[in-house]
Structure 1
Amino acid sequence: MGRQKPFYDWPIPDHRHRLVDFVGEAFLIGAAGVSAYQFVRGLRGAPSGGRLAAGAHAVRANTPRVVGSFAAFSAVYCAAECAVSVARGGKEDTWNSIAAGAAAAALKHSRRGAFGAARAGLIGASAVAAAVGVFHIAFEWLDHTTPSRRTTITTGPLAPVATAQLPPPLAHWRSVVDKDVPT
């Protein structure tokens, strides 16, 4: 029999693996940051003589809850970003991230009512737009301050290879930021 042709014409990226990668990275980054924050918070609030134990206790008590919430929010954000990408016909640009930030923040605060969800969505979209702008400015600055990334091989068994293009730092974020920015 064979497989039927799907009803869409564009190639859909593998959103399942993107979701797993995104949530895993968010969990690890959140675990590192929240652990450090909770440890310092436990140190500051403890009497002298028991600060180290109090810091470790604060990490054990609070980090799993906060990191789990952060990972769950990241899963909602990634799912919204993939849904917006599919709804827009497979376009991958910064507007997907901004819309996903608005949707995830509004969904998180939906128990506060329509006005609270709308306000949270506006704040979420603004935060993602600001982050994308900061990344764009940082990459423009890196382009102007770093020397050319071309290297020339002139000796050895690889001499016929004249130039090789080295990948830029943070190549994934570069691809996310430059999708929608005109040059």
Structure 2
Amino acid sequence: MHEDDLKEFVQAGVRADEEPLWFGQPQFSRIWQREYRSRITKLFLLAAVLAVLLNIITVTFFGLSTILNIVLIVAIGSVILRFCWIYYLGRRLVYVLTSKRLVFFLESAKPIEYKSFPLDKLGEPKLARGTDGYDDLALPNIKDGLLGVLDGSRLVTLLQVKSRSETL
């Protein structure tokens, strides 16, 4: 998304009583790596492999099984849908830091609020510098983070300043 379009998108998504302090999109490869290695993706892949093996064994020894064919279609369909979701998430996710919260928006016809965290719940951010210029920011209190952001040190500074001002 172009910078001007992204700015309009963020303005449309934030509440009237908030001011956007920082926004950005994650690097696609970071989202892909995280979601591809997630438990749910591994579970879907395992289910698809098991369904394929069961179908092969059944066809070899007993002939075609309608129920196993349906299971195979569902398992392979779930893997395809999971990969479509990862692609959608990687291309359409926008991180927004406002004066009151950290929001993950999904780009659609209008901004869809995917996740929202109040600033006082974020805790101390931990920055992991990437070799490619993109940084990962872990937020242990919410067990989530921002992946593949450009200029992560600026974001850490903003979060620390906002959390200090919230506690005063």
* Normalised-by-shorter TM-score class: 0.3 to 0.5
Looking at secondary structure, tell me which structure has more helix per residue.
Answer: 1
Normalising to structure 1: TM-score of the pair? Answer: 0.32
Which fold has the larger relative contact order, with Cα–Cα distance below 8 Å and residues 6 or more apart in sequence? 2
Q: TM-score, normalised by structure 2?
A: 0.34
Counting strand residues as a fraction of each chain, which structure ranks higher?
2
